[in-house]
Amino acid sequence: MQMLVSSARGDWGTMSPKATTPRSSAHPGALPGLAEPVGPRFPIVGIGASAGGLEAFTELFRNLPPDTGMAFVLVQHLDPSHGSRLPELLSSKTPMTVTEATDGTSVAPNVVYVIPAASDITIQGGVLKLTSRPLSGQHLPIDSFFASLALDRKTEAVAVVLSGTAADGAAGVRAVKSEGGTTLAQDPGTAKYPGMPESALATGAVDFVLPLPELARQLLVIARHGNPAATSPGAPDVRVISAEDPHLVDVLDLVRSATRADFSQYKQNTIMRRIGRRMMMQHTESMDAYLDLLRHDPLEVEALYQDILIRVTSFFRQPHVFETLKEAVFPQIAEAQTEGQVRFWVPGCASGEEAYSLAMAWAEFWGENHVDKASFQIFASDINQQVIDKARTAVYPEHRFRRLARAAG
How far is Cα 301 from Cα 406, in angstroms, rounded to an integer?
42
Instruction: Give the helix, strand, coil percentages of the chain, each rounded to 5.
Output: 45, 20, 40
Q: What one-character DSSP code corresponds to residue 106?
A: B
Give the whole-angstrom CA distance, residue 115 versus residue 99: 9
84: phi then psi, degrees, rounded to nearest 5: -90, 135
Helical H segments across 227-318, by residue range: 247-259, 268-281, 287-296, 298-308
- Selecting among 120, 143, 152, 168, the annotated active-site residue is 168
Q: Can you tell me the distance from the alpha carbon of 50 to that of 196, in angstroms, rounded to the nearest whole number?
A: 8
Give the 3-state secondary structure of residue 100: strand
To the query of whether residue 77 is one of the catalytic residues in this protein, the response is: yes
Q: Pick the catalytic residue: 6, 27, 77, 119? A: 77
User: Which listed residue (50, 314, 357, 381) is catalytic?
Assistant: 50
Would residue 106 be called left, alpha or beta, if left means φ above 0 and alpha means ψ between -120 and 50 degrees?
beta
Query: Is the torsion defined by CA of 401, 402, 405, 407 positive or negative?
Result: negative
- DSSP-assigned letter for residue 403: H
Which residues are part of the catalytic machinery?
50, 77, 168
